[in-house]
């Protein structure tokens, strides 16, 4: 159903764009949600059945995330905590590197991976790349035992939130590099929890859409983690309001703005 | 749809381009062409108005006729639509966060949709004096009683998954604005051993807490003056502060979406039946079963009796007033009739101050052994502070006025001693709120009164009601619907400890 709606949505967008002659579709701050969302909203307000179906769908989504992040106690029991953690990382389509090894184990696009990782029993993980995966707070339980984890990349993870960051204190002695860029659910309240990571050397927090006052937060974070190099791109840190207003005016007059500018505005 | 969109866009574009010109034109039009305007509006519009009015009149008459038909709810006497329903299964008195949490959990646990009719009564819908919204909004695990630690852990778990519990379809997701900064308790030499014991209890219960020596403390928080500090305990996870109003509203929104009725009114009286029972020693006991609740509407003489099966007393600071109507505690001491509800309102002050040189993003919720606490509020160098006064110097709880002397005499000296940067600060604002203070042992009272078989109590939390509300609501709902506690055993919090005179005191370091 969603595929059909997506195509419908795309089709509508295209025709609307033709009509509106170059008005940028999504950059205006008060843009209404896309057509299929509004259609579904209309239907849910009218029919209980649709509401029920939608609720069921969202519950299914939640259950899927929970299932993916289940605790791998069976694997842990038979192969030990390190193999269980490695298996968890691979089944979430992530990648990792063992301590003292140079090659990475990665999942390919079709979700297949090399089972040779089973040969390295009792070797802890040193680097874990979970970018764009469904890792959540409960799934982090599988990695808690990895006391020599140095690098953790969580780029663009939709389920990583402030509670997840607060839980990262389990790696407080080892973690040196953390990448939380493009995570949609991280806010300032969670970044305050990074104070426990004493050994952090590099923090990538670019383009966090949930962050209000990014400029101030970056300064405060730099104060809080003095030895840490903080990378924060993708924010509009210009102090003057004029720049923003100018751009908004341009949008109103219907100039197509290029993509880089859009990214800068948010 | 598309045409509409096109029109809308055009209109906005025109509006954007022509705003300035239109304004000037309008002026000239009003002054210069007034006669023309009048001549235009004489003919058709008046006739149209007449017909429109007539149609409206007809519609109203039709509506009235339909309403007066037998079987409709219309009556010639005007009825206040805000009155509570005449009958309900469960009436929850007190629409604070605990009351709404109980309402939510009752609805969550019902087997069939609409099986329970739950009414929540709140006397002040503006929540101007409610303890919920006037609190500092903190949650911690650093208690000494395992029950309290488990309550906090369960509540933190609830808040972590708050959108799974309280999210409503097609509404904005709930953002509690949770700030993950731990509590930092500082202990002096006299109380360090208590802190160590508490620490082991907390670790056993599963809370993530760490102990810090003064050197470690200085290293972690260089802005603290560690004079007199022997030990510090610091929460690593599930601790911090959040927006109480958001939590209250989330509970309320979800509960109402599940069919809970919200009513505004004060409970002034109960109708109850009295059964006389004999104890084994031959004494007679009066057992009072509530039949209905009299709800007085605000600012009027109107009232509505609500027949109900079960009443939940979640009125917080004013819950003992409610119990007194039922003559709880009117008998002689050390008898069942003498067990009064030891909950009274206590006034606590919260001060907001500004200090640009104060600690930054890593500021914990610091609780000093002198009793003073403070936390960060926002990112702009604002902080919130407060302290509990000594027992004999309790302020008058009759009003909510702030005593600024208290800050000058009690709080600031301690605060400035602990954090030297706070020697220069400016108090920008202050407020006062009520604690539902349990004078017996400063812990919640959850359960039935032995002489009132259908009034459940959930009150007396003495300052941790907000942080424990999700778990307490679940516990009370279990008690009502299942008959006993299912998830967390809170049976030590019931009235028996009052009868046996066994207080369950928190071993606090403050």
- Residues of B in Cβ contact (< 8 Å) with A192: 179-181, 240, 361-362
Question: B237 to chain A: nearest residue by CA?
Answer: A166
What mean pLDDT is predicted for residues B354-367?
94
Q: Identify which of A141, A134, A129, A136 has the alpha carbon closest to the alpha carbon of residue A85.
A: A141
- Residues of B in Cβ contact (< 8 Å) with A51: 169
Q: Return the axis-axis angle of helices B244-257 and B465-481, rounded to nearest 10°.
A: 20
C-beta atoms of B169 and A41 within 8 A: no
How many folded domains does chain A comprise?
1
What mean pLDDT is predicted for residues B393-410?
92
- Examine the pLDDT at B280 and tell me if it is beyond 60: yes
C-beta atoms of A169 and B13 within 8 A: no
- Examine the pLDDT at B368 and tell me if it is beyond 70: yes
Q: Which pair of structure tokens corresponds to residue B471?
A: 């778990």
C-beta atoms of A192 and B179 within 8 A: yes
A165 at interface of B, judged by CB pairs closer than 8 A: yes
pLDDT tens readout for residues B88-118: 999 999 999 999 999 999 999 998 988 999 9
Distance from CA of B184 to the nearest CA of A (A): 13
Q: Give the other-Cβ count within 10 Å of A17's Cβ.
A: 13
Residue A174 within any structural domain of the chain = yes
How many residues can be counted in chain A? 266
Predicted local distance difference test score (pLDDT) of residue B22 = 43
Residue A54 within any structural domain of the chain = no
* Between A74 and A240, the higher pLDDT residue: A74
Distance from CA of A55 to the nearest CA of B (A): 7
**How deeply is A234 buried, as exposed, middle or buried, from its count of CB atoms within 10 A (0-12, 13-18, 19+)?**
middle
**Do residues A147 and A132 make contact, with C-beta atoms less than 8 angstroms apart?**
no
What mean pLDDT is predicted for residues A60-78?
94
B141 at interface of A, judged by CB pairs closer than 8 A: no
From residue A183, give the alpha-carbon distance in Å to each of A131, A221, B20. 10, 17, 43
What mean pLDDT is predicted for residues B418-443?
94
- Residues of B in Cβ contact (< 8 Å) with A254: 13
A157 at interface of B, judged by CB pairs closer than 8 A: no
Predicted local distance difference test score (pLDDT) of residue B46 = 67
- Examine the pLDDT at B8 and tell me if it is beyond 70: no
C-beta atoms of B361 and A220 within 8 A: yes
B362 at interface of A, judged by CB pairs closer than 8 A: yes
What mean pLDDT is predicted for residues A116-134?
92
- Examine the pLDDT at A215 and tell me if it is beyond 70: yes
Q: Identify which of B242, B231, B160 has the alpha carbon closest to the alpha carbon of residue B194.
A: B231
Q: Return the axis-axis angle of helices B97-109 and B465-481, rounded to nearest 10°.
A: 30
Q: Strand A105-106 relative to strand B90-93: parallel, antiparallel, unpaired?
A: unpaired
Predicted local distance difference test score (pLDDT) of residue A169 = 95
pLDDT tens readout for residues A225-249: 999 999 999 898 876 555 455 445 4
**pLDDT bucket at B415, cuts 50 / 70 / 90:** very high
Predicted local distance difference test score (pLDDT) of residue B87 = 94
The DSSP symbol for B411 reads I
Cα–Cα distance measured from residue B226 to residue B411, given in angstroms and rounded to the nearest whole number: 17
What mean pLDDT is predicted for residues B183-202?
94
- Cα B373 to chain center, whole Å? 21
- Examine the pLDDT at B39 and tell me if it is beyond 60: no
In this complex, the residue of A15, A189, A196 whose CB is nearest that of residue B2 is: A15
CA atoms within 13 A on the CB side of A208: 29
Distance from CA of A63 to the nearest CA of B (A): 11
DSSP secondary structure letters along A71-113? --HHHHHHH-HHHHHHHHHHHTT-EEEETT--PPEE--TTS--
Cα–Cα distance measured from residue A127 to residue A176, given in angstroms and rounded to the nearest whole number: 10
pLDDT tens readout for residues B110-144: 989 889 999 999 999 899 989 999 999 999 999 99
Q: In what order do the strands lie in the sheet with A202-204?
A: A105-106, A95-98, A125-129, A151-153, A177-179, A202-204, A229-231
The DSSP symbol for A185 reads B
A31 at interface of B, judged by CB pairs closer than 8 A: no
- Domain coverage including residue A183: 67-248
C-beta atoms of B2 and A20 within 8 A: no
Q: What is the mean pLDDT of chain B?
A: 88
Ramachandran quadrant class, B483 (left: phi over 0; alpha: psi -120 to 50; beta: rest): left
B1 at interface of A, judged by CB pairs closer than 8 A: yes
- Residues of B in Cβ contact (< 8 Å) with A220: 360-361, 379
**pLDDT bucket at B307, cuts 50 / 70 / 90:** very high
What mean pLDDT is predicted for residues A42-56?
90
Three-class secondary structure of residue B277 per DSSP: strand
B170 at interface of A, judged by CB pairs closer than 8 A: yes
Residue A52 within any structural domain of the chain = no
- Kind and range of the H or E run holding B183: strand B183-187
In this complex, the residue of B13, B236, B379 whose CB is nearest that of residue A188 is: B379
pLDDT tens readout for residues A78-97: 999 999 999 999 999 999 99
C-beta atoms of B9 and A196 within 8 A: no
Residue A258 within any structural domain of the chain = no
Please name the residue that has the structure tokens 């009218």. Answer: A46
- Cα B173 to chain center, whole Å? 20
Residue A238 within any structural domain of the chain = yes
Residue A263 within any structural domain of the chain = no
In this complex, the residue of A41, A192, A253 whose CB is nearest that of residue B180 is: A192
Predicted local distance difference test score (pLDDT) of residue B331 = 80
Predicted local distance difference test score (pLDDT) of residue A17 = 41
Chain A contact probe: residue of B140, B361, B364 with most A CBs at under 10 A: B361
Predicted local distance difference test score (pLDDT) of residue B1 = 45
Which of A97-106, A200-209, B333-342 bottoms out in mean pLDDT, i.e. has the lowest? B333-342
C-beta atoms of B361 and A192 within 8 A: yes
Cα–Cα distance measured from residue B132 to residue B472, given in angstroms and rounded to the nearest whole number: 14
Predicted local distance difference test score (pLDDT) of residue A4 = 52
Cα–Cα distance measured from residue A87 to residue A90, given in angstroms and rounded to the nearest whole number: 5
Which of B45-54, B421-430, B490-499 holds the top average pLDDT? B421-430
Distance from CA of B367 to the nearest CA of A (A): 18
pTM metric for this prediction: 0.83
Distance from CA of B157 to the nearest CA of A (A): 10
Q: Which pair of structure tokens corresponds to residue B1?
A: 């749809």
From residue B18, give the alpha-carbon distance in Å to each of B15, B26, B41. 5, 12, 26
C-beta atoms of B180 and A166 within 8 A: yes
% residues pLDDT > 90 (chain B): 71
In this complex, the residue of B169, B180, B379 whose CB is nearest that of residue A220 is: B379
Predicted local distance difference test score (pLDDT) of residue B375 = 95
Distance from CA of A79 to the nearest CA of B (A): 26
Cα–Cα distance measured from residue A230 to residue A219, given in angstroms and rounded to the nearest whole number: 10
- Residues of B in Cβ contact (< 8 Å) with A167: 237
pLDDT tens readout for residues A158-182: 999 999 999 999 999 999 999 999 9
Which CATH number does the domain housing residue A179 bear? 3.80.10.10
Predicted local distance difference test score (pLDDT) of residue A109 = 87
- Examine the pLDDT at A250 and tell me if it is beyond 70: no
Cα–Cα distance measured from residue A211 to residue A188, given in angstroms and rounded to the nearest whole number: 6
**pLDDT bucket at B43, cuts 50 / 70 / 90:** low
Three-class secondary structure of residue B328 per DSSP: coil
A216 at interface of B, judged by CB pairs closer than 8 A: yes
- Residues of B in Cβ contact (< 8 Å) with A223: 360-361
Distance from CA of A187 to the nearest CA of B (A): 8
A197 at interface of B, judged by CB pairs closer than 8 A: no
- Kind and range of the H or E run holding B93: strand B90-93
Residue A135 within any structural domain of the chain = yes
pLDDT tens readout for residues B452-483: 999 999 999 999 999 999 999 999 999 999 99
Cα–Cα distance measured from residue B271 to residue B261, given in angstroms and rounded to the nearest whole number: 21
pLDDT tens readout for residues B208-259: 999 999 999 999 999 999 999 999 999 999 999 999 999 999 999 999 999 9
Q: Strand B266-278 relative to strand B209-212: parallel, antiparallel, unpaired?
A: unpaired
In this complex, the residue of B2, B240, B379 whose CB is nearest that of residue A19 is: B2
A205 at interface of B, judged by CB pairs closer than 8 A: no
- Strand partners for B274: B288
- For residue B460, which phi and psi values (nearest 5 degrees)? 75, 30
% residues pLDDT > 70 (chain A): 78
Residue A194 within any structural domain of the chain = yes
**How deeply is A262 buried, as exposed, middle or buried, from its count of CB atoms within 10 A (0-12, 13-18, 19+)?**
middle
């Amino acid at each position: 159903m969603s595929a059909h709606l997506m195509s419908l949505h795309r089709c509508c967008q295209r025709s609307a764009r033709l009509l509106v002659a170059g008005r940028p579709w999504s950059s205006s701050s008060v843009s209404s949600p896309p057509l299929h969302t509004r259609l579904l909203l209309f239907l849910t307000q009218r029919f209980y059945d649709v509401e029920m179906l939608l609720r069921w769908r969202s519950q299914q989504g939640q259950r899927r995330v929970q299932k993916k992040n289940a605790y791998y106690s069976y694997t842990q029991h038979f192969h030990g905590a390190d193999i269980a953690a490695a298996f968890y990382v691979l089944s979430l389509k992530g990648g990792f590197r063992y301590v003292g090894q140079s090659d990475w184990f990665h999942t390919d696009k079709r979700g297949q991976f090399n089972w040779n990782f089973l040969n390295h029993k009792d070797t802890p993980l040193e680097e874990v790349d979970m970018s764009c995966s469904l890792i959540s707070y409960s799934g982090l339980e599988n990695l808690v035992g990895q006391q020599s984890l140095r690098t953790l990349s969580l780029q663009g993870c939709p389920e990583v939130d402030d509670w997840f960051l607060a839980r990262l204190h389990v790696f407080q002695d080892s973690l040196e590099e953390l990448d939380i860029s493009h995570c949609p659910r991280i806010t300032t309240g969670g970044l305050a929890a990074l104070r426990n990571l004493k050994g952090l050397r590099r923090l990538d927090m670019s383009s966090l859409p949930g962050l209000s006052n990014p400029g101030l937060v970056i300064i405060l974070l730099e104060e809080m983690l003095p030895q840490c190099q903080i990378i924060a791109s993708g924010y509009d840190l210009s102090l003057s309001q004029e720049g923003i207003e100018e751009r908004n005016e341009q949008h109103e007059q219907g100039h197509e703005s290029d993509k880089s500018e859009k990214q800068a505005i948010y | 749809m598309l045409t509409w969109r096109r029109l809308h866009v055009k209109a906005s574009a025109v509006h954007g381009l022509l705003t300035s010109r239109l304004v000037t034109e309008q002026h000239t039009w009003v002054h210069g062409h007034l006669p023309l305007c009048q001549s235009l509006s004489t003919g058709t519009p008046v006739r149209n108005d007449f017909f429109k009015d007539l149609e409206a009149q007809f519609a109203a008459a039709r509506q009235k006729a339909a309403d007066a038909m037998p079987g409709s709810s219309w009556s010639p006497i005007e009825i206040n639509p805000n009155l509570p329903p005449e009958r309900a299964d469960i009436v929850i008195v007190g629409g604070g966060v605990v009351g709404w949490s109980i309402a939510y959990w009752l609805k969550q646990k019902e087997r069939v949709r609409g099986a329970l009719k739950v009414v929540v009564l709140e006397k002040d819908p503006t929540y101007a004096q409610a303890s919920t919204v006037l609190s500092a909004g903190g949650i911690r695990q650093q208690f000494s009683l395992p029950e309290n630690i488990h309550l906090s852990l369960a509540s933190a778990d609830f808040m972590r998954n708050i959108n799974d519990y309280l999210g409503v379809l097609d509404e904005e997701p709930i953002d509690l604005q949770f700030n993950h900064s731990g509590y930092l308790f500082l202990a002096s030499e006299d109380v360090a051993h208590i802190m160590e014991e508490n620490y082991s209890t907390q670790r056993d219960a599963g809370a993530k807490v760490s102990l810090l020596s003064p050197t470690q403390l200085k290293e972690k928080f260089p802005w603290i003056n560690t004079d007199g500090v022997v030990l510090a305990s610091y929460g690593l996870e599930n601790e911090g502060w959040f927006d109480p109003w958001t939590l209250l509203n989330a509970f309320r929104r979800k509960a109402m979406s599940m069919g809970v009725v919200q009513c505004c009114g004060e409970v002034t009286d109960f109708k109850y039946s009295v059964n006389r029972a004999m104890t084994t020693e031959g004494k007679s006991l009066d057992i009072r079963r509530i039949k209905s609740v009299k709800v007085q509407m605000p600012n009027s003489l109107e009232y509505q009796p609500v027949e109900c099966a079960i009443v939940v007393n979640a009125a917080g600071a004013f819950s003992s007033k409610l119990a007194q109507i039922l003559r709880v505690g009117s008998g002689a001491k050390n008898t069942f009739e003498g067990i009064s509800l030891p909950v009274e309102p206590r006034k606590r002050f919260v001060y907001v101050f500004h200090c640009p040189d104060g600690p930054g993003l890593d500021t914990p919720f610091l609780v000093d052994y002198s009793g003073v606490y403070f936390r960060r509020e926002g990112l702009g160098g604002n902080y919130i502070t407060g302290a509990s006064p000594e027992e004999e110097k309790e302020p008058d709880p009759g009003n909510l006025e702030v005593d600024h002397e208290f800050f000058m005499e009690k709080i600031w000296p301690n605060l400035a001693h602990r954090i030297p940067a706070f020697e220069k600060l400016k108090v920008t604002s202050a407020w006062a709120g009520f604690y539902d203070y349990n004078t017996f042992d400063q812990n919640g009272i959850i359960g039935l009164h032995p002489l009132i078989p259908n009034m459940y109590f959930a009150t007396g939390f003495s300052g941790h009601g907000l942080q424990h509300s999700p778990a307490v609501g679940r516990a009370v709902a279990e008690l009502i619907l299942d008959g006993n506690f299912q998830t967390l055993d809170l049976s030590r919090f019931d009235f028996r400890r009052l009868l046996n005179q066994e207080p369950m005191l928190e071993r606090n370091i403050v």
